[in-house]
Structure 1
Amino acid sequence: MKVAFIGLGVMGFPMAGHLQNNGHQVTVYNRTAAKAQQWVEEYKGEMADTPAKAATDAEIVFTCVGNDDDLRSVVLGDTGVFSGMRAGAILVDHTTASAEVARELNDVAAEQNLGFLDAPVSGGQAGAENGVLSVMIGGEQAVFDKINPVIAAYSKAAELMGPAGSGQLAKMVNQICIAGLVQGLSEGIHFAKRAGLDVKKLCSVIQHGAAGSWQMVNRHETMVENEFDFGFAVDWMRKDLNITLDEARKNGAQLPVTALVDQFYAEVQKSGGSRWDTSSLIHRLERDS
């Protein structure tokens, strides 16, 4: 298929590459043109100098940018993808954004006879590079059925969660669960160290029981060594948690642990850890040890 990919960050760059490697004709756009040129040199696709031009004649356009405002800037307006897309084409948005902007763009897409899906992903940079992301999707079943075989290039699981905005709501649940889990793992490792246990040996055992998690398997060793210069950044997590807490205020959900962990991440930011991996929650427990 002829597709376009807008946004070549740590997630978008390999995701677009998987599409190209799976035989699709990919045209990319990135705000920093040098990154798009780097992608073309690596994957042999094409690049465009505006989102609209990248979207011209594309059957599916993918976006993966920073936040609501970034998303609006590449989708709407004279140079946005909607102005370049042909009737019947589909926009699949992989940005982690608000459910509100997803519904907004879905309405505009419908007016222009375009398909729209909000499809945030989970799995981090490693998941994107290895093509094993989990994708939570909001939109219409018929549109989902068309894109599902295509996104299989970089996903191991994709599920339609409901109407537009449902994908973003599902991603919020994902972040709620992760926030509490990482804080629990941080406290467990901190306690183990104070108790004189061999943390690596400990985690090699308990990761196979009820306490096991992806975070424990993949992050306990680096947490012990205070290594955080990789992975999903604290700044990004706080952006996601703020979106989640805003939504909770609207729907009445009570998220006391999530709100507390968000403030813990704020402390990490103040300590200079804005770009550290989210496993750096342990830093605030260890810094005075």
Structure 2
Amino acid sequence: MSETPGKALPMGDGPPLHYRVLGEGPPLLLLHGFGCDGHSFDGLADRLKERFRVIIPDQRGHGQSAACAFPDVREATDPLDDLADDAVHLIDHAAGQPVVALGWSMGAAVLFSAVARHGQGRFAGLVVEDMAPRVARGPGWDLGLIGAGSPKETAAVAERMSEDWPQVVERMAPRVFADAETPMAKDLQCSMLDSDPEAMALLWHALATADFRETCSAIDIPVFLTRGAHSRLYPAETMDWLAARMANAQSRTYSQSGHAPHLEEPARFAADLAAFAERCVFGQDEPT
């Protein structure tokens, strides 16, 4: 086993993107959720690093990569494209072969964008953790974020993020978990405060207006769809919709979890992820 913390990926003339690599074996990329950082995967990585080379970035605008902002926060029009390009750049730099990639929440949207922009060739498989192909709701689509309105209404939340990010975080973190009083909510809240508020506002606007339904319907590599039975963010039918349209998808609901099964049921989630990843790489059996 090897561990290489604190690596820096050059990003042109700007600050580098920070990432870590733990363990050896087939590459496994973990992309965190909105406002979080790579440390949200620490427990998961500890369970997987004996069997995989786990690559964990702090995505642009988050955590140690907070200074790695978008080209111009005021003028950038689609920061999800930037995050997708970053992920592909990281795969080429740190993996050198197709990866199994887990996207938690926003991280899954980044993977959808990467597939839309660069195709499926860099991925041996995808793991989607409680995410919709479209966050906003509207006519003909009620499977987005619970409580969200139209793209315009949902994007309006971005202004509050820019003006008072700590207050937004205080309200947001407890909603991630089935038990809002869990100590994990406070830990998550502390890590989210390190993210750049302007970048978060820009990203939220992008998430509120993105629509990856067509992209998801065309994905035919192996996909493992996961969610918690007590998710406060997305309805169960969202995963059903994805499962019905992805040609090679399997799904699992975690009975004790909310939006973050990898944190709330870590042992089972890690075992399922390892089984799925090994099937993608070695053709072994699916999780049971």
TM-score, normalised via structure 2 length: 0.30
Q: Name the one with the larger strand percent.
A: 2
Q: Name the one with the larger helix percent.
A: 1
TM-score, normalised via structure 1 length: 0.30
- Which is higher, the Rg of structure 1 or of structure 2? 1
